[in-house]
Chains A and B, each alone.
Chain A
Amino acid sequence: MKKQLPEKFINYKHVWVFVELERGEVHPVSWELLGEGRKLADKLGVQLAGVVMGPPAATTRAAVEGSYRYGADTVYLMEDPLLTDYRNEPFTKAMTDLVNTYQPEILLLGATTLGRDLAGSVATTLATGLTADCTELAIDDEGSLAATRPTFGGSLLCTIHTLNFRPQMATIRPRVMAMPEAKDGEVSGGLIEVPLNMKEDDVITKILDFIADNTTNKAQLAYADVVVAGGMGLGKPENFKLVKDLAEVLGAEYGGSRPLVQKGWIDSDRQIGQTGKTIRPKLYIAAGISGAIQHRVGVEGADLILAINTDPNAPIMDFAHLAIIGDAMTILPALTEAFRKRLSVNRMAG
């Protein structure tokens, strides 16, 4: 199929990133997308804009400033009390109104619960294409967005285009794109403030309560610097303690492959991979994990992967950097001990 952009889309220009603001905090995926959006905008020779929606509050203004800091030339801002907590209806109206008025050619959102909920209704309202859960974005020779995503449980990748419709929409998972450098000092850029034109009475869904997660024991896998994980090679649930011990010494988060979640050895928010968390740590240690493709796609962003496996031919050897060929049940305690010594010696020295 050839690109034949209809007349009405000719003026659609610039790259937009939805800046996801919930309860005063910007989801880091928004900054990651501004970093990626910057590259796309530069390739196309167009501007990069952040789209900020929130209540009239200092935190909303901070999100505007953050957008400039992470590379936006312009910010589209909708400030309204109706945009305090996420609800599909006002956010869909806000986004579709902005798109229809200011006509971006590309619109990127994080593939979070909020981003996915919003993207689906925005794309349907605008009757345009939406590529889900992308892992790679590029601009092709014709200036179209080429969005690549894993399919069939990660065993294949496919590249999808939205040739004849605008904007070209995509959602991208947290941690798939690198976090860009933030600009220091004073930052500024264009600011276009647009009213929402909606009343609370117009919104049918009401928020009765918000029950915040108890974060003390919650996995923070996606943004951890070091992650230690175990797989079926650990043999039995008791052995998972060896993974936790090593994680504790390293101040790391721990996680595991999917079968461990299915067997109830670990909580589901600790699953790493295609249907779990995507991680991007400086160091990833995987013990007794074979490295199935669905696991691989979640860890490929790690700077250094150490595999501990009895099988020198396990698939994980194709993408790990270092390997210890051996029994996780003896290697893990040895690593824990060796790290403990090394770190405590150096702490005294330092």
Chain B
Amino acid sequence: MHIVVCIKQVPDSAQIRVHPVTNTIMRQGVPTIINPYDLFSLEEALRLRDAFGGKVTVLTMGPPMAEDSLRKALGIGADDAVLLTDRFFAGSDTLATSFALATAIQKIMETEPVDMVFAGKQTIDGDTAQVGPGICCRLGMQQLTYVQKVESVDPAKREIVVHRRSEGGVQVLKTSLPCMITMLEGTNQIRYGTMDDMFRAARADVRVWSAAAAGIEDMTRCGLRGSPTVVKKVFAPKARAQKARPVDGEGAEALAAAAIEAIFASQPKLESDLLKQSAGY
């Protein structure tokens, strides 16, 4: 079983600051991490490899320093890593990103067939959840998003059964390999790599591919030029003109009474609605 896991290096958003004057993101010095959602997919891929044999290849597109994320993934237990890096990729939207990643996966398939592709449910920076479906669609694979459990895999029959979260319930789906899976968060816990993995990760050869090396011929499909979406404007949310009005009163009871008066004064219909809703108390 050969599984490709797409991971994205993202800024640790807990530490992102917005410049108070220019309203731009201050990226300097912000540490980067593997997109947290990708770790659930990586772990699931590693479990399948452990159960059925084969290998896990991690793939990322990004600047040269994105190699750090690949080494981290190797340290956790991935077997092989490919870094897609080229100035042609700068400014890619999701369409251009999925084009580059899908082309690279096809390149990988030339030497080793791929049975499954895993991607994260979404990222914490771009947060579109569009790249996984984009890759899948380009590769003509079966698409399994928001998976909360891989129920069974039959490598001989090339079949897989998963539980997929949908509105109002869980779909139990059976499909054929190859397929693309995005895992739901909280479905498993990423492992700690073994000592062996850590040593191997430090020494491993990460394959570094330019656009041309990945088999991309038409550079106009990459980066800004290959991106139909254009970011026109970035701005901070505007503050409301008025601040919250504090209610007056001494002690909790008086404050509560004053708040209730103020609530019903500003929302006259609310009281009758509440009476209907809370009937029974």
A residues sitting closer than 8 Å to B (CB atoms) are 1, 20, 22-23, 27, 85-89, 92, 112-114, 116-117, 119-121, 123-125, 127-133, 146, 150-153, 155-165, 204-213, 215, 225-226, 248-252, 268, 282-283, 293, 296-297, 303-307, 312, 316-327, 330-331, 333-335, 337-340, 342-344, 346-347, 350
Contacts and interface: CB of A to CB of B under 8 A. Distances in A.
A311 B273 CA distance: 31
Q: Is the interface of B mostly helix, strand, loop or mixed?
A: mixed
Nearest to A213: B169
B93 A129 contact: yes
B281 A251 contact: yes
A163 B168 CA distance: 36
B176 interface: yes
B174 A206 contact: yes
Contacts of B1: none
Contact of B161 (A27, A151, A208): A208
Given A112-B167, A129-B229, 7 more contacts: A89-B143, A113-B166, A114-B167, A159-B233, A306-B259, A334-B256, A342-B260
B247 interface: yes
B132 A120 contact: yes
Interface of B: 13, 16, 18, 23, 25, 93-95, 98, 124-134, 136-138, 142-146, 161, 163, 165-176, 186, 227-237, 239-240, 243-247, 252-253, 255-257, 259-260, 262-263, 266-267, 269-271, 273-275, 277-279, 281
Contacts of A117: 133, 143, 145-146
Contact of B166 (A22, A158, A225, A323): A22
Contacts of B172: 207-211
Contact of B127 (A151, A165, A249, A316): A151
A34 to B, nearest CB: 18
Contacts of B235: 156-159
A331 B239 CA distance: 27
Given A129-B93, A156-B235, A208-B174, A124 B267 contact: no
11 contacts: A86-B166, A86-B171, A92-B137, A151-B234, A204-B175, A207-B171, A312-B246, A316-B244, A323-B244, A327-B252, A342-B271
B23 A250 contact: no
Given A124-B134, A127-B95, A250-B277, A113 B263 contact: no
A324 B266 CA distance: 16
B237 A293 contact: yes
Given A133-B127, A160-B229, A251-B274, A206 B173 contact: yes
A20 B166 CA distance: 12
B260 A339 contact: yes
A61 to B, nearest CB: 21
A22 B167 contact: yes
A250 B278 contact: yes
Contacts of A215: 168
Nearest to B271: A346
Chain A to chain B: the 6 pairs with minimum beta-carbon distance, closest first: A120-B133, A129-B228, A251-B277, A251-B278, A132-B128, A334-B256
A114 B166 contact: yes
Contacts of B245: 321-323
A162 B227 CA distance: 9
Contact of B232 (A132, A159, A331): A159
A328 to B, nearest CB: 10
A331 B237 contact: no
A6 to B, nearest CB: 11
A320 B243 CA distance: 7
A128 B228 contact: yes
A116 B129 contact: yes
A120 B126 CA distance: 14
A109 to B, nearest CB: 12
Nearest to B276: A251
B260 A335 contact: yes
A347 B228 CA distance: 58
